[in-house]
Amino acid sequence: MKHYLTVSDIESLPDWVDEAIALKKDPYQFEGLGKRKTICLLFFNNSLRTRLSTQKAAMQLGLDVMIMNFGNEGWALEYGDGTIMDQGTSEHIKEAAQVVSEYADIVAIRAFAGLVDKEKDESEEVITGFANYATIPVVNMESSVGHPLQALADAITLKENEIKIRPKVVLSWAPHPKALPHAVANSFVEMMRMQDADFVITHPKGYELNPRLTQGCQIEYDQNKALEGADFVYVKNWSSYSDYGKVLSKDTDWTITEKKLGHAKFMHCLPVRRNMIVEDAVLDGKQSLVVQQAKNRVFSAQIVLKKLLENI
């Protein structure tokens, strides 16, 4: 593996999940692997879990860590080829990526979708720009269209809570006051397609995810029907994909309640809006896996960094 940019970079999901669970039991067993090596974490957007879990994972592998809030503190980057840079951008991705490669052995990047221009978001100009021009491995810490570290953490959490061979897993849309990207839902779908599960996606009409990703997946527009017999309910808001970036509904009939959850385990990547996405009783109850998912972010990052370090 040269970079970790999408879920499809996972060489074997079951093997990686097992390795991550083993690593969790003895997190410092590969402490020497990153000695005298450096990872640079570049944030174009806010974070709590990704920033701290990736840093912790790196430290447990013995890496030195440099972090930069690039969105606020870096030069505005130009991505276009042959652009006359007489407007707002100050530095080209070609130089920026090569320069970072001189300071670090791995670079990890968070750069969300703008949700204005679908084509631009899908071109993944930031993460692709770094992958094209950096001479070191690049890790996706959530890009315009994917959050593969989260999806790997979710796979670890599903495995740790496995109660049957082929569980029913439901990905449910839930309401949110703002327009959110599709990255978490996209990567969760990609990861679930690698699992042996009865996987159902439920959302109001108009909230269909990119059909290229959901091809062959069961989509059920009746949330109550979708939730029947669920073992795991993964909840997330996303904005419309077809009416790109728009909020078409804030219908709180889609909010997850204890009654709707039944006996299922509740999953969400966090941060979560209480009593909008999900009611307090679910988050405060025993069926919520959200903190375990957040803890597993350390081990999803650590397994990815370990594999990249082994390849340097």
Binding site residues, ligand CP, CB under 6 A: 47-50, 142, 150, 269-271
Does the annotation place 33 within a ligand binding site? no
Does the annotation place 166 within a ligand binding site? no
Does the annotation place 142 within a ligand binding site? yes
Does the annotation place 158 within a ligand binding site? no
Measured from the CB atom, is 48 or 85 closer to ligand CP? 48
The Cα–Cα gap between 288 and 232 comes to 10
The distance of closest approach from Cβ of residue 161 to ligand CP in the complex, given in angstroms and rounded to an integer, is 18
Measured from the CB atom, is 89 or 292 closer to ligand CP? 292
Measured from the CB atom, is 213 or 290 closer to ligand CP? 290
Residue of this chain nearest to ligand CP (CB atom): 50
Measured from the CB atom, is 54 or 101 closer to ligand CP? 54
Does the annotation place 274 within a ligand binding site? no
The distance of closest approach from Cβ of residue 276 to ligand CP in the complex, given in angstroms and rounded to an integer, is 17
Does the annotation place 208 within a ligand binding site? no
The distance of closest approach from Cβ of residue 222 to ligand CP in the complex, given in angstroms and rounded to an integer, is 28
Measured from the CB atom, is 270 or 281 closer to ligand CP? 270
- Chain centroid offset of residue 100 CA: 23
Burial class from Cβ neighbours inside 10 Å (0-12, 13-18, 19+) for residue 215 reads exposed
- Chain centroid offset of residue 30 CA: 24
The distance of closest approach from Cβ of residue 7 to ligand CP in the complex, given in angstroms and rounded to an integer, is 15
The distance of closest approach from Cβ of residue 141 to ligand CP in the complex, given in angstroms and rounded to an integer, is 8
The distance of closest approach from Cβ of residue 45 to ligand CP in the complex, given in angstroms and rounded to an integer, is 8
Give residues with Cβ within 8 angstroms of 161, minimum separation 6.
Answer: 232, 265, 289, 292
The distance of closest approach from Cβ of residue 296 to ligand CP in the complex, given in angstroms and rounded to an integer, is 11
Does the annotation place 40 within a ligand binding site? no
Give residues with Cβ within 8 angstroms of 21, minimum separation 6.
Answer: 156, 159, 160, 299
Does the annotation place 48 within a ligand binding site? yes
Does the annotation place 193 within a ligand binding site? no
Closest CA relative to residue 48, chosen from 300, 289, 274, 297? 297
Contact 71, 44 (CB under 8 A): yes
Annotated binding-site ranges: 47-50, 75, 110, 142, 147-150, 176, 236, 269-270, 273, 297
Residues marked as binding for N(2)-succinyl-L-ornithine? 142, 176, 236, 273
Instruction: Extract the annotated binding site for carbamoyl phosphate.
Output: 47-50, 75, 110, 147-150, 269-270, 297
